Structure 1
Amino acid sequence: MTVLENRELTVLDPRTGEVASRVPVASAERCDEAVRAARAAASGWARTPAAERGAALHAAAQAVREAADELAALNTGETGKPADDARGGVDAGIGTLVQYAELGPVHRGRSLHGGWDATDLMIPEPRGVVAVLTPWNDPVAVAAGLIGAALATGNTVVHKPSERCPRTGRRFAELVAAHLPDGVLEIVDGDGAVGAELAGAPVDVVAHVGSTATGRRIAEVCARTGARALLENGGNDPLIVDDGVDPEWAAAQAALGSFANAGQICVSVERIYVHASVADPFLAALTREAQQWAQRIGPLVDRAHRNHVHGHVQGALDAGAHALTGGAVPDGPGAFYPPTVLIGCVPDMAVLCEETFGPVAPVRVVPDFATALREAGEDRYGLAATVLTADQAHAQAAWRELPVGTVKVNDVFGGAPGGASQPRRASGSGFGFGPELLDEMTAVKVVHLAAAPPPS
Structure 2
Amino acid sequence: MAATVVQLTESKKQIQHTHRVFEGQKKAFRNNPMPSLTERKENLKRLKRALLAHQDKLVEAIDRDFSCRSRDESLIAEVMPSIQGINYTLKHLGDWMKPSRRHVSILFQPASNKVCYQPKGVVGVIVPWNYPLYLAVGPLVAALAAGNRTMIKMSEYTPHTAALFKEIIESMFPEDLVSVILGEADVAADFSQRPFDHLLFTGSTSVGKLVMRAAAENLTPVTLELGGKSPAIVSPDVPMEDAAQRIAFGKAFNAGQTCVAPDYILCPTDRVQAFVDEFRAQFAEMYPNLRDNDDYTAIINDRQYERLQSYLEDARAKGAELVEINPANENMKDGTRKIPLTLVLNTTPDMKVMQDEIFGPILPVISYDNLEGAIHYINDRPRPLALYFFGYDRSHQQQVVDNTLSGGMCINDALMHVAQDDLPFGGIGDSGMGHYHGKEGFLTFSHHRAIFTKQKFNSGKYVYAPHGTTAHQLVYKLFIR
Q: Report if TM-score (shorter chain) is over 0.5.
A: yes
Q: Do the aligned partners of 2:231 and 2:378 also contact (CA within 8 Å) in 1?
A: yes
Deviates more, 1:290-299 or 1:55-64: 290-299
TM-score, L = length of structure 1: 0.90
Q: Residue 85 of structure 2 corresponds to which residue in structure 1?
A: 96
Report which stretch shifted further, 432-441 or 292-301. Answer: 292-301
Q: CA deviation at 1:151?
A: 1.2
Larger mean Cα displacement after TM superposition, 173-182 or 56-65? 173-182
Residues 106 and 171 (structure 1), Cα distance of their counterparts in 2 relative to 1, 3 Å cut: farther
Q: Residue 200 of structure 2: SS of its match in structure 1?
A: strand
The question of 1:110 aligning with 2:100 is answered yes
Partner SS, residue 322 of structure 2: strand
**1:432 paired residue number:** 436
What's 2:377 paired with?
Answer: 375
Tell me the distance in 2 between the aligned counterparts of 1:356 and 1:329: 23
How many residues matched?
438
- Matching residue of 2:320: 321
- Greater fraction of residues in strand: 1
Structure 1 residue 430, shift from structure 2 partner: 0.3
Shift of 1:287: 2.6
Question: Is this contact kept in 2: 1:272–1:361, CA < 8 A?
Answer: yes
| CA 178–40 in structure 1, closer or farther in 2 if over 3 Å, else same | farther
How much has 1:257 moved relative to structure 2? Answer: 1.9
Partner of 1:197: 190
2-structure distance, mates of 1:233, 1:306: 20
Corresponding residue for residue 117 of structure 2: 124
Aligned partner letter, 2:36:
P
Runs of 4+ displaced beyond 6 Å: none
With over 3 angstroms needed to count, the CA separation of the structure-2 counterparts of 1:410 and 1:220, relative to structure 1, is same
The letter for the 2-side match of 1:309 is L
Instruction: Work out which of the residue numbers 249, 255, 268 in structure 2 matches 1:256.
Output: 249
Contact 1:270 1:352 in 2 (8 A): no
- Supply the AA of the counterpart residue of 1:429: M
TM-score (norm 2): 0.85
Identity of aligned residues (%): 22
Q: Which residue of 2 aligns with 1:280?
A: 273
Q: CA deviation at 1:179?
A: 3.8
Which whole-Å CA distance do the structure 2 matches of 1:74 and 1:26 have between them? 25
Give the AA of the match of 2:74: A
Match 2:415 to one of 413, 416, 426: 413
> Following TM superposition, by how much is the alpha carbon of 1:27 offset from its aligned partner in structure 2, in angstroms?
2.8
**Whole-Å Cα distance in 2 between the matches of residues 240 and 372 of structure 1?**
7
Are residue 78 (structure 1) and residue 65 (structure 2) matched?
yes
Structure with higher helix content: 2
Cα distance in 1 for partners of 2:32, 2:297 equals 41
Q: Which moved more, 1:103-112 or 1:385-394?
A: 103-112
- Candidates 14, 19, 43, aligned match of 2:30: 43
Task: Specify whether residues 306 and 315 from structure 1 end up closer, same or farther in structure 2 by C-alpha distance, changes over 3 A only.
Answer: same
Question: What is the rounded CA distance, in whole Å, between the counterparts of 1:453 and 1:60 in structure 2?
Answer: 49
Which is higher, the Rg of structure 1 or of structure 2?
Answer: 2
Distance 1:24 1:288 in 2: 49
Q: SS at 2:116's partner residue?
A: strand
* Aligned counterparts, 1:339-350, within 5 A: 339-350=341-352
Shift of 1:248: 2.1
1:357 is matched with 359
Q: How does 1:187-226 map to 2 (within 5 A)?
A: 187-226=180-219
Q: In the alignment, which of 129, 139, 162 is matched to residue 146 of structure 1? A: 139
Describe the superposition over 1:300-341 as per-residue Cα deviations: whole angstroms up to 9, x where unpaired: 001100111122222111111111225999322242211111
Inter-CA distance 301–344: structure 2 relative to 1 (3 Å threshold):
same
CA 1:109–1:316: 2 relative to 1, 3 Å: farther
Bigger mean CA offset, 436-445 vs 88-97: 88-97
* SS of structure 1 residue aligned to 2:33: helix
Q: C-alpha root-mean-square deviation of aligned residues, in Å?
A: 2.3
Asked whether the equivalents of residues 51 and 105 of structure 1 are also in contact (C-alpha less than 8 Å), the reply is no
Tell me: CA distance 1:31–1:57, structure 2 relative to 1, closer, same or farther (3 Å): same
- Give 1:31's aligned amino acid: T
Does structure 2 conserve the Cα–Cα contact (< 8 Å) formed by 1:61 and 1:176?
no
Contact 1:120/1:449 (<8 A) preserved: yes
Q: Deviations over 1:130-169 (max 9, x none)?
A: 1111111111111111011111111101111111113313
Query: Per the alignment, in what secondary structure is the counterpart of residue 325 of structure 1?
Result: strand
* Distance 1:7-1:165 versus aligned 2 partners, 3 A rule: farther
Classify the secondary structure of the residue corresponding to 1:374. helix
